[in-house]
Structure 1
Amino acid sequence: MFRRLGRFLAALALTAATTVACVTLTAGAAQADGCYTWGRTLAQGASGEDVRQLQIRVAGYPGYGAVLTLDGAYGPATRSAVIRFQQAYGLPADGIAGPQTFNRLYALQDDDCTPANFSYPELNKCNSDWSGGAVSASTARFNALVSMWKLQAMRHALGDVAIAISSSFRSYACNSAVGGASNSRHLYGDGVDLVGSPSFCRLAQQARNHGFGQILGPGYPDHNDHTHVAAVGGWSAPNCGI
């Protein structure tokens, strides 16, 4: 927590210094980070791994009913997601990812690239090496990372309230043990079951804005005691108007 606070304060100081000096910095002048450091300002038309890394972190800002493609191409959808991220954190909303945007992302993430309020162990209570599911261990872990960034966006939109996770990645053995569906998104690493407060319906309704292609909640069979979100699969929470 103290490391994140220190990094956040340093980021604020850097932004303030930039404003006072009236100097336009390149992204390389932004605060360095233990996870990933961007080396250039990114805008529509750019492409590359640095764009894909940005897309992962703004995957929770695609707009209602949309899912952001993580293809490394800075197109209109990525620009719109960056604008929504900037608006959410009170930054100049120009759709250009520069030092202020990167510094905010650095302040939000830990050195293992997970967002500040979620962790790999939270999304894997089944098999710590991520093996045994429908995809490779590395793919399952990556899918979980993207889900965490979507949940981070959702959490912030809900007023930075804590979101509790009851189940996420499952191997086939774990999925069978809990009676999960044979095609469950938990097997892919991106399925997440949410419990606690806010209400299940509030979670399901908010999830529509944060890149979840699958939302299952109250009124859907066996989902009255949680809200399930995942990358793909459709929405159904009849008791919540979804």
Structure 2
Amino acid sequence: MRMNTLTRAIVAFALALPGAAIATVVAAPAAQADGCYTWQRTLSQGRSGDDVRQLQIRVAGWAGAGGIVRVDGRFGPETAAAVRRFQSAYGLRSDGIAGRQTFNKIYQLQDNDCTPAHFSYRELDDGCGRGGWSGGPLSADRTRANALRIMWKLEALRRSLGDQPLYVTSGFRSGSCNRQVGGASDSQHLYGNAADLTSRTRSLCQIARAAREHGFSGIYGPGYPGHDSHVHVDLRRENNDDRTANRTSWSAPDCGVGAGD
């Protein structure tokens, strides 16, 4: 978990100025807020392009109960719904249209490497202490991209739990690391698609239940074999290289979380 940058503080101050809310509904930001990505136009249903895709990565954690937001560069109803939930979660006007106010909040939340405020690549890289993104079934670049996507969902989950810290005990695992820790041969950790979580302020069951609202298609927690000490979340429905693609698998029996929820 990291401290906010000076950039975030400046953006937050700007949003608090009188008249700022009026200006936000007109257009997307005119100036770059940080070193990651700058949106140049307001986005709404019917838009398409890489700017939509970049938005989808950042709001995918607000997919709603059992849903996912497809990162396909097309702004449809599921993206609009996720934008509305994101806006509501941060006290913005909830209209499903991504304009200056929405982008400013994203700029405030992200670091220059595009990771969200409270998670880092270092937390999600090779879980056996060697670091890096190689040694799995995907290229290092794609594995790292998957890790970025799950981090933004973790940021949404953290927000819904009252902005209380979540700790990643295992993220990406290379093949050798996965064997070392006794992971499943088809583990989502191999793809950079998964994270194991604990908290000092929220119970594991609170985490597992909340995860159902934030775009995780794999959830395993208390009551599932080997998961009484952490909650596993993953993006298996978004991983087209894995035979578990397009399936939702939730199991935390001690928390009342199951596949039919």
Q: What is the TM-score when the length of structure 1 is the normalising length? A: 0.94
Counterpart of 2:239 in structure 1 is: none
CA distances 1:69-94 after superposition (whole Å, capped 9, x unpaired): 00000000000000000000010101
Could you tell me which residue of structure 2 aligns to residue 75 of structure 1? 76
- Residue 229 of structure 1 corresponds to 233
1:21 shift after superposition: 7.3
- Judged with a 3 Å threshold, the aligned counterparts in structure 2 of structure 1 residues 32 and 176 are, in CA distance, closer, same or farther, namely same
Distance 1:23 1:140, change over 3 A: closer
Contact 1:166/1:194 (8 A) holds in 2: yes
Pairwise mapping of residues 157-168 of structure 1 onto structure 2 (< 5 A)?
A: 157-168=160-171
Matched letter for residue 222 of structure 1: G
Query: Which of the numbers 123, 148, 151 marks the counterpart of 1:145?
Result: 148
Tell me, in whole angstroms, the C-alpha distance in 2 between the residues paired with 1:95 and 1:3: 26
Match of 1:204 among 193, 208, 225: 208
The aligned amino acid for 2:124 is L
**Per-residue Cα deviation, 1:26-72 (whole angstroms, up to 9, x for no partner):** 21425532100000000000000000000000010010110110000
Per-residue CA deviations over 1:120-166 (Å, capped at 9, x if unaligned) read: 01011344220001211111111111110001001011110000111
CA gap 1:48/1:128 in 2 versus in 1, 3 angstroms? same
CA–CA distance in structure 2, aligned partners of residues 88 and 199 of structure 1: 21
The answer to whether the 8 A contact 1:194-1:227 is kept is: yes
Contact 1:30/1:99 (CA < 8 Å) preserved in 2?
A: no
Change (3 A) 1:102 1:111: same
Provide the aligned length of Structure 1 versus Structure 2.
242
Alignment of 1:13-162 (within 5 A): 13=14, 16=17, 18-19=19-20, 25-29=26-30, 32-124=33-125, 125-126=127-128, 127-162=130-165
The residue matched to 2:185 in structure 1 has which SS? coil
Q: Which structure 1 segments of 5+ residues have no match?
A: none
CA shift at 1:16, angstroms? 3.3
The answer to whether the 8 Å contact 1:11/1:31 transfers is no
1:10 aligns with 2:11: yes
Q: Is the 8 A contact 1:133 1:170 kept in 2?
A: yes
Counterpart in the other structure of 2:244: none
Is structure 2 residue 256 aligned with structure 1 residue 241? yes
Instruction: Summarize the Cα distance change of 1:119–1:23 in structure 2 as closer, same or farther, 3 Å threshold.
Output: closer
| Consecutive unaligned residues in structure 2, runs of 5 or more | 237-247
Q: Do 2:217 and 2:234's aligned partners in 1 also have CA atoms closer than 8 Å? A: yes
Instruction: For 2:232, give the aligned amino acid.
Output: H
* CA positional deviation for 1:225: 1.1
Q: TM-score, normalised by structure 2?
A: 0.87
Q: For residue 194 of structure 1, what is the aligned residue in structure 2?
A: 197
Letter aligned with residue 4 of structure 1: T
Change (3 A) 1:161 1:23: closer
What's the CA shift for 1:6?
Answer: 4.0
- Work out the CA distance in 1 between the residues paired with 2:62 and 2:56: 10
1:85 is aligned with what amino acid? Answer: F
* RMSD between aligned residues: 1.9
Alignment-mate amino acid for residue 150 of structure 2:
S
Structure 2 distance, partners of 1:3, 1:161, is: 15
Quote the Cα distance in structure 2 between the aligned partners of 1:85 and 1:208.
Answer: 16
Structure 1 residues 23 and 167 mapped into 2: Cα distance closer, same or farther (>3 Å)? closer
The percentage of counterpart residues that share the same residue type is 56
1:215 to 214, 219, 234: 219
